């Protein structure tokens, strides 16, 4: 929030988000970029980068913008994993899931109310965070599981 206690968005948040599993390579190993949130109420929580789609924005443009803002990386290639409802019967939020490859560094532009640590780790380690109960963000867990399967079974 800003000093006046209001969020910095220009309009109400739509109920559409776009998130991505960002892949990097270090030698033979496949790595992913995760974010660790530094702001309440989710301080210390792991997630894949992403966020809300603005009302005047295409979904692919939103995920690129969010990756630049949160990680300082611009993907050269995106692949759609699919989409999910967060909690049908309770919310109509629709989350579009992607993988991102071929990164190019760009200036990081986090929102004024965002405090995020970017962490690069092995894909296996990221999956272990799920199994140990340390990554509890449902859309991030689903995205990582879909992305891991995609790597096992290339199209």
Annotated catalytic residue, options 114, 117, 125, 128: 114
Give percent of the chain with pLDDT exceeding 70.
87
Tokens of 94: 């629709």
Q: Which domains does the chain have, with CATH numbers?
A: 16-149 (3.90.79.10)
Rounded Cα gap, residues 155 and 153, in angstroms: 6
d(CA 151, CA 99): 10
pLDDT digits (tens, 9 = 90+) for 131-146: 999 999 999 999 999 9
Q: Torsions phi, psi of 25, nearest 5?
A: -130, 140
pLDDT tens per residue across span 2-51: 455 555 555 555 588 999 999 987 677 889 999 999 888 899 999 999 99
Q: What is the mean pLDDT of the chain?
A: 87
Could you give phi then psi for residue 148, rounded to 5 degrees? -65, -40
User: What pTM value is reported for the model?
Assistant: 0.84
> Does the active-site annotation cover 57?
no
């Amino acid at each position: 929030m800003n000093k006046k206690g209001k969020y910095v968005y220009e309009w109400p948040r739509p109920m559409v988000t776009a998130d991505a599993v960002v892949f990097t390579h270090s030698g033979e190993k496949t790595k992913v970029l995760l974010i660790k949130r530094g702001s309440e109420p989710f301080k210390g929580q792991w997630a894949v980068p992403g966020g809300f789609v603005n009302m005047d924005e295409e979904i692919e443009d939103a995920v690129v913008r969010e990756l630049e803002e949160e990680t300082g990386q611009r993907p050269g290639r995106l692949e759609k994993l699919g989409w999910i409802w967060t909690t049908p019967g309770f919310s109509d939020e629709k989350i579009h899931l992607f993988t991102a490859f071929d990164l190019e560094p760009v200036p990081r532009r986090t929102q004024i109310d965002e405090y995020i640590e970017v962490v690069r780790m092995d894909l296996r380690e990221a999956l272990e965070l799920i199994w140990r109960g340390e990554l509890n963000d449902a859309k991030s867990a689903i995205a990582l599981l879909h992305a891991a399967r995609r790597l096992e079974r290339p199209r």
